Structure 1
Amino acid sequence: MLPRSQIKAEFFLVFATLGWGINYPLMKMGLQLEQGTWFLFMRFLLSFLLLSPLLWLHRQYINRHSFKAGLICGLIFIPCVQLMNWGLHHTTASNAGFIFALFILWVPITNALFFKTPISNPIKVSMALGIVGLAIIAQVHKLHLNMGDLAILICSLGYTFYILALDRYSTPKESTVITVIQLLVLSIGCMAIYGVTKPEIHHINWSWQLIGILVLSTLLPSTFATWAQTRYQPDTTPERATLIFNLEPVFATIFAVWWLHEALTINMLIGGSLILAAMVWPNLAEYFHHHKFKKNQPLS
């Protein structure tokens, strides 16, 4: 059986994944109202301001290691969010979710290549199920990658290194400090990019819809999901974390269909079911192995 701390961690990671899934349609709606880099800058700035008071409560963990971890993770994440922002201009929210989720393949492979971490048989089966599910949803026999899809694909490769960096540098005690430093780095990075790319005259079209989208995207994907991943991913393995992250495109599709009225196809239903099976299979394999082992033990 899994340790209670790992079960709790994976529970929080599921809700973090829900926040990321919501992010796709939120960003798509936000891009229809405002310039994308400004929107990202405001999201991360508000998240930083929201969490920065926690630095005082966790001041004993403000040290060279936590600063380095937050800086590295933030710098890796900046190009990822910018590529996602640009890609969403040129593809659908649901398509972006499923192409981005290809990082479930990159993480175990990269971990094995760079850190010599073997890939267990249950993880291999889950990877296969996840990839088949993604392929069915994307209808790979018809898939023609446009520039938006390609940007999301490169984004998924970058996110692989973000996951591995979190696994390497983040610790539960320092997670809050690392999260706040990450958000500061992200807000500064997006502000710098906005300063370079913004039009000469930029009038912000404030509306209740824009404020609502900004608040929701600040609270869920930027604040809660970033904190939850930084805090709880170290309590499980990168491979198991990526299996949970399989749910991201499923959540993205649900909210894209609900809010943006994107079409829900039979491919999405079948592929989504396989992705869910990919997430559940390692737990089932461990359960059956544990009970088989107990059954084969000689009676005393």
Structure 2
Amino acid sequence: MTACWGSTFFLIKDLLERVPTVDFLAVRFLIAGGAMLVVAPRAVSRLSPEVRRRALVLGSLYGVAQILQTAGLAHTPASVSGFITGLYVVATPLFAAVILRSRISGGTWAAVALATVGLGVLSLEGFSIGYGEAITLVAALLYAAHIVGLGAWSKPADALGMSILQVLVIAAICAAAALVTGERGVVLPDRGADWASVVYMALVAGAAALLAQTWAQAHLPPTRSAIIMSMEPVFAAFFAVLLGGESLTGRMAIGGAMVLTAMLVVESLPRRKIEAEVPHIAV
């Protein structure tokens, strides 16, 4: 899942030179939602009204976060944006502790700290707070809220239906933003290679990845999920070097190793401690 997301960074960077941000997001998630409905047309109807409401909330959080994050990229260096977005690793246990009253173990907090430092080493070469950084930070907080909510509300039996409904909500939010901000409606890609990238990001890094996240978070606590997902920028750097023509640097290697170590630390914690951190609240 994180490898899929990481593989999209250099594709998106190239695609956004020709297609506006919200237009790309709208097309991506409309394709993802349509494909999921074709595969499982009755999955959403099987959800209870309560689960549908939860999926609407989660999809709204994710959709707004996507728009803010990509809008922030227009005003923020990609490396800084990646670091700030990765701060959901810090926000997730804070939200889980406050909202869900979860007990976060010392080992988990250590992994959070290590992952955060690793993200900084991997991403930062300079840092200042401006408009782009501010809205990207809001996006990170929304991602953290999404992770916490998904961890509290997701159940394996509902994963497919919740994923489809979330994707459809994200698509609707992005399409509305594209129609409001654009002068010519939704701008579509006009090159075959661009369409191939969009379809890959819609089906693999969109529909399949969100389904995997929804299913996995029915079994994992939010903080553990966030630390695992912090591997996304590591994979982004890996694919940028492998396929995007970038050069491997010592910062990439050290930062990536720190994030990987954080993931291994949290994975090595006793299972009984992890399970104590997963309250499935009823809302």
Shorter-chain TM-score bucket reads: 0.7 to 0.9
Deviates more, 1:94-103 or 1:166-175: 94-103
Contact 1:139 1:267 in 2 (8 A): no
Displacement after TM superposition at 1:100 (Å): 1.2
Structure 1 vs Structure 2 CA RMSD = 2.3
Q: Which residue number in structure 2 is paired with residue 26 of structure 1? A: 11
Is residue 2:141 matched to residue 1:157? yes
Is residue 2:137 matched to residue 1:166? no
How many equivalent pairs are there? Answer: 272
Alignment counterpart, residue 261 of structure 2, candidates 236, 258, 277? 277
> Cα deviation per residue 1:237-275 (whole Å; 9 max; x = unaligned)?
112111111201101112233444345321221111111
**How many Å separate the matches in 2 of 1:256 and 1:188?**
30
Q: Which residue number in structure 2 is paired with residue 75 of structure 1? A: 60
AA aligned opposite 2:121:
I
Aligned residues with identical type, % of pairs: 28
- Higher-Rg structure is 1
Q: Which residue number in structure 2 is paired with residue 102 of structure 1? A: 87
Q: Which residue number in structure 2 is paired with residue 235 of structure 1? A: 219
Is residue 2:216 matched to residue 1:244? no
> Cα deviation per residue 1:142-162 (whole Å; 9 max; x = unaligned)?
423454343322211110111
Contact 1:24 1:96 in 2 (8 A): no
> Cα deviation per residue 1:65-87 (whole Å; 9 max; x = unaligned)?
23112211111112101012212
**How many Å separate the matches in 1 of 2:45 and 2:107?**
40
Alignment counterpart, residue 256 of structure 1, candidates 234, 240, 247? 240
Alignment counterpart, residue 163 of structure 2, candidates 179, 182, 192? 179
Alignment counterpart, residue 136 of structure 1, candidates 121, 133, 152? 121
**How many Å separate the matches in 1 of 2:8 and 2:138?**
18
Q: Secondary structure at the match of 1:264?
A: coil
Contact 2:79 2:123 in 1 (8 A): no
Which of the pair is proportionally richer in helix?
A: 1
Deviates more, 1:49-58 or 1:266-275: 49-58
Alignment counterpart, residue 197 of structure 1, candidates 181, 196, 199? 181
Q: Quick one: structure 1 residues 238 and 32, their matched pair in 2 at CA, closer, same or farther if it must change by over 3 Å?
A: same
Q: Quick one: structure 1 residues 74 and 283, their matched pair in 2 at CA, closer, same or farther if it must change by over 3 Å?
A: closer
1:58-69 maps to which residues of 2 (within 5 A)? 58=43, 61-69=46-54
**How many Å separate the matches in 2 of 1:31 and 1:262?**
18
AA aligned opposite 1:129:
L
Contact 1:93 1:252 in 2 (8 A): no
Contact 1:90 1:147 in 2 (8 A): yes
> Cα deviation per residue 1:161-216 (whole Å; 9 max; x = unaligned)?
11111112221101111111111111111111111100247764511121111111
Note the residue ranges of structure 2 that are not aligned, 5 or more in a row: 274-283
Q: Quick one: structure 1 residues 264 and 91, their matched pair in 2 at CA, closer, same or farther if it must change by over 3 Å?
A: farther
